[in-house]
Amino acid sequence: MSGSVAYTREDFLRLDAEDQLAAYRDRFDLPANTIYLDGNSLGAMPAHVPERFERILKKEWAHGLIRSWNDADWYPAPQRAGAKIAKLIDAKNNEVIVADSTSINLFKVLVAALRINKDRKVILGERGNFPTDVYIASGVAELTGSEVRCVDPEEVLDALNEDVAVLSLTHVNYKSGRRYDMAKITKRAHEVGALVVWDLCHSVGAMPVELNAAQVDFAVGCTYKYLNGGPGSPAFVFVAERHFANVDQPLTGWHGHAKPFDFDHDYRPHPTIDRMLVGTAPQLGILGLEASLEVFDNIDMNLVRAKSKALGDLFVALFDQHLQGLGVELRSPREGEERGSQISLSHEQAYAVMQAMIDRGIIGDFRAPDILRFGFAPLYIRYVDIWDCIVSLREILEQRIWDRPEFLARKSVT
Ligand SMILES: *Cc1c(COP(=O)(O)O)cnc(C)c1O
């Protein structure tokens, strides 16, 4: 289908009938009459998870009690879940571990990178990155006597020079959906002797990520977005194996010790990725994540990416076809290759417009000050959802349905 064709709803139904990933939708428990375009914020729940929790809670916790750390194999869950994620991001099984939150993992790898590149003092970042990435970098800079330098995304390559100890970027921007060329930027960073940290929050689970092909040094990411790990599920951290021996991360907790159960007085880091651990794992969160990740067993991430791109391209085509002159602008790259798995539009009353959409069961989200965000989780979004979303959006804009007090009043989580 080319950009000049006027699409109909039937075209979208036909794409669903031909979709090789269509069957994945049945593996999720989604509410009826809802179009969920916010899987980039909180992924949907895989339908088998409650049954797994029933076992974890009643059998393993209630009756197994402390024996379950061994008998139910609780203890190695961070490594097991890490190995499952490793397959999706071109990492070795032993290079990824699940621990803590993205914010905390960023803190660990940024300090570690500065300690490896100890003659340099600059953390290079991007303006417009997700706030926690910038806040954590600032905290690290203050603690280590370094400097955070933030430049616009298109200036990153030019800003890479021999002052830079570590470049810290987010692969897909949370607001615009813009995607960096990971291989090209990592290569340039290495040419000037900088280490690289990639935040994969908006890419893991939505597209193949090529960490080792690009020779990335460190990566972090959350698991509650496209990986569907559940609210607040723990994050992951990737360290390239070549750095294991030199990673001196600052949160020297007992689970990162070479022999935690020797209860030694002195800290000795574990020789492997386990040194990225800090304290006792949020075990229920990790076990839930591990169950959720089974959806990705044997999946072809290239198919996932192809569908994600197609959904985005069609959204843009329908934007062109149906939303002109209605006060909305496209705020994501038109070119699928330059985009992650979301489209952002801007509107003066974006908050109220999104509330009116949610009132109709079409759930996207709002990002201050004026962004309407629509995320496409390819495993459970149908093509027809894109059509129905745009048709509703047009009605809401044309008829100013958003202009009601109940839609204009801000809630605490936006
Ligand atoms: C979602 C997201 C985070 C979340 O960090 P938490 O520590 O899990 O709250 C961080 N960075 C980016 C780029 C994100 O999109």
CA of residue 237 to ligand 1 center, whole Å: 13
- How many CB atoms are closer than 10 A to CB 397? 20
**Pocket residue to mutate for ligand 1, from 130, 236, 278, 371, most atoms within 8 A of Cβ:** 130
| Burial classification of residue 118, based on how many CB atoms lie within 10 Å of its CB (0-12 exposed, 13-18 middle, 19 or more buried) | exposed
CA distance 224 to 208: 17
CA distance 83 to 92: 7
Contact (CB, 8 A) for 273 and 98? no
Residue 158 is assigned to a ligand binding site: no
Question: So which residues are the catalytic ones?
Answer: 130, 199, 224-225, 373
**Pocket residue to mutate for ligand 1, from 174, 180, 226, most atoms within 8 A of Cβ:** 174
Whole-prediction pTM value? Answer: 0.97
3-state secondary structure of 342: strand
Atom of ligand 1 nearest to the CA of 133: 11
CA of residue 201 to ligand 1 center, whole Å: 6
Ranges of residues in the chain with a pLDDT under 70 are 1-5
Contact (CB, 8 A) for 338 and 313? no
CA of residue 130 to ligand 1 center, whole Å: 7
pLDDT at position 194, please? Answer: 98
pLDDT at position 1, please? Answer: 46
Order across the sheet with 329-330: list the strands.
Answer: 329-330, 342-346, 371-375, 365-367
How does pLDDT run across 242-264, given as a tens digit for each residue?
Answer: 999 999 999 999 999 999 999 99
pLDDT at position 4, please? Answer: 61
3-state secondary structure of 312: helix
Residue 322 is assigned to a ligand binding site: no
pLDDT at position 257, please? Answer: 98
Residue 102 is assigned to a ligand binding site: yes
Distances (CA, A) of 32 to 36, 44, 291, 361, 362: 10, 13, 23, 9, 11
236-239 vs 329-330, strand pairing mode: unpaired
